[in-house]
Amino acid sequence: MKSQSPAADAQSRPVKFDLWRRIYGRVGQYWKAIVVALLLVGISAATQPTLAIITKPLIDEGFTGAKPHYIWAIPLAVIGLILLRGVSSFGSSYLLAWVANNTLLGIRKDMFERLLGMSDEEYKRSDTGRLLNRFTIDAGNVTQYATEVITVIVRESLVVIALLVVLLYMSWELTLIVLVVLPVSVYTASVFIRRLRRINRDTITMNAELTRVVREGIEGQRVIKLFDGYERESGRFAYVNSRLRRFAMRAASADAAMSPLSQFFIAVAVAAVIAVALYQANHGTLTVGSFAAFMAALGQIFDPVKKLTKIASAMQRMLTSAESVFALVDSDPEQDTGSREFSDPVQGRIEFRNVTHRFEGVDTDVLNDISLVVEPGQTVALVGRSGSGKTTLVNTIPRFVVPAKGEVLIDGHDIRDIKLKSLRAQLALVSQDVVMFDGTIAENVGYGALHEASRQDIRDALEAANLLEFVDSLPEGLDTQVGENASQLSGGQRQRLAIARALIKNAPILILDEATSALDNESERQVQASLERLMAGRTTLVIAHRLSTVQKADLIVVLDGGRIVEQGRHDELLAAEGLYASLYRMQFQEKIGV
């Protein structure tokens, strides 16, 4: 088995130390409960060698009848010790579980806050399955093993030390044999621990892949059925599943191999102890009671040593999971460079000045020297082929995308100088991909900062979105549960629900991103009527592939290859016989079936 180089070991030590510091820095917040728990652990540990000590007077004096009161004293002592161990063990376990769960609460809170604060670019780079794994598995591993490590190290170390004292008291010669064998057993186990850490890392990665495959299977079940993707998805799942089994078996084999090896060294130690004890007994230097007490203590010492050895594998799982958890906690949050807020009511004038942007890992600019002015209350449509930069340009307004060059201004203020919360309070979005949350219709319409909206405000917004009649027909009305991502509603109903949410926000700037492209003609007419109410009096940016929906726009801007190639009204662009006219004729011909 290949081991790490000394340089790699030296480099990993500061990382490990930092992980230990951060884990127990969080656990240490509950130090009072930990101190009480460890005192109880100490009491529980103290009962173990005491049981071994009782063996000597029991055999040497109890069975000979030298002390008749041992008939009731020793059984009562055994019952008392076991009862004391049980009570202290329960108390310590409960307190440490309390510490673990409160630590887990804090870690998950920090993780979720950082998750919500990630930039749009970071979300795109992240693996959803890996993110979910950090919450469900990794965070739990950290807190579970953190308290387990404390318990085992303290309790088993105390037991081992106490039992060693007993062994030395009974026979120092026999104890020397044990002290020679124990380090060999510990070193042998440490060889397997390094292998376990690598396996644990691979397992965490593959668990994230399993989560992703299952999630895609759930979300894409209709596509799988229609396009006969059973075999492909089953193959993907089988591969990940078999890899997990393989890693689990590797971990199990490494874990299981420690037990027989440890048992072999224990057998060698016991055989040597018996041989020396028989020699001493024959020469009258060791009594039967002393030997029985020694063997009782010896029989108890290997189990805590084994637990101390195996706790190292738990430490590796804890550290591996901690690396994953703190990678999320330490990820860079969305940069809020703003220092000011909009003080006056926003009019909605938007200006793009020489905006240029290129995504990481891409060879060409997605936006190239874009300059455009959108006047207050104006409706501007952005059209062009897929990949021309329409969505990226619009995403610079809420700073989901930060341009590499150029400026975006609202009412003459550079948006980089405005705090994100103040900036985004001026914006409302209705997109093709409607996002709804598991809850009631009222909760989704008055979502987020709008949760204090009155029931009447919500009803007014639904009425303006042409959805109130439908909502009132439902048995629970506004309190109807919409299901996960409003799966209970049709596409048109979900769009109008999103429009109602935008209406109630009453923001001066509105972004419509393909808001009707996925709808049938009837739903599109209903949604379009709702949108016209929403757009009234607002600065509106419309991204649309269906050019029939943007004919009434005050200005149509045509993008191609990240540049503005044309702009004007519908009739003007048709007369210019440029890219817009070409795209329009192509869509018109497709519509009439030519």
Question: Which range of residues forms the domain containing residue 234?
Answer: 13-329
Residue 57, judged by CB atoms within 10 A of its CB (0-12, 13-18, 19+), counts as middle
Structure tokens at 133: 């794994």
Cβ neighbours of 332 (radius 10 Å): 10
429 or 218, higher pLDDT: 429
Residues 557 and 588 in one domain: yes
Going through 210-306 in order, the beta strands assigned E by DSSP cover: none
Examine the pLDDT at 278 and tell me if it is beyond 90: no
Most confident of 248-262, 304-318, 539-553, 568-582: 568-582
Query: Within 13 Å, how many C-alpha atoms sit on residue 320's CB side?
Result: 21
**The pLDDT value given to residue 111:** 87
Residues 399 and 547 in one domain: yes
pLDDT digits (tens, 9 = 90+) for 133-177: 888 888 888 888 888 888 888 888 888 888 788 777 777 777 777
* Residue 493, domain CATH: 3.40.50.300
**pLDDT confidence band for 13 (50 / 70 / 90):** low
Examine the pLDDT at 204 and tell me if it is beyond 70: yes
In a domain, 5, yes or no: no
How many independent structural domains does the chain possess?
Answer: 3
The mean per-residue pLDDT over the stretch 29-58 comes to 82
Whole-model pTM?
Answer: 0.70
Q: What percent of the chain has pLDDT over 70?
A: 86
Lowest mean pLDDT: which of 23-27, 222-226, 421-425? 222-226
Question: What is residue 2's DSSP assignment?
Answer: P
* Distance in angstroms (rounded) separating the CA atoms of residues 455 and 447: 13
Residues 24 and 166 in one domain: yes
Examine the pLDDT at 326 and tell me if it is beyond 80: yes
* Residue 252, domain CATH: 1.20.1560.10
Mean pLDDT of the chain: 80
The mean per-residue pLDDT over the stretch 90-102 comes to 89
**Residues 6 or more apart from 517 whose CB is under 8 A from it?**
432, 544, 545, 546
**The pLDDT value given to residue 186:** 64
Residues 584 and 487 in one domain: no
Residue 290, judged by CB atoms within 10 A of its CB (0-12, 13-18, 19+), counts as buried
Query: Are β-strands 367-374 and 350-357 bridged in parallel, bridged antiparallel, or unpaired?
Result: antiparallel
Examine the pLDDT at 240 and tell me if it is beyond 80: yes
Residues 394 and 283 in one domain: no
Q: In whole angstroms, how large is the CA radius of gyration of the chain?
A: 35
The mean per-residue pLDDT over the stretch 568-589 comes to 85
In a domain, 226, yes or no: yes
Cα end-to-end distance, the chain, whole Å: 69
Last residue of one domain, picked from the residues 283, 298, 329: 329
Last residue of one domain, picked from the residues 273, 306, 329: 329
Residue the block writes with tokens 């003007």: 572
In a domain, 445, yes or no: yes
pLDDT digits (tens, 9 = 90+) for 521-556: 666 677 777 777 778 888 999 988 777 778 888 999
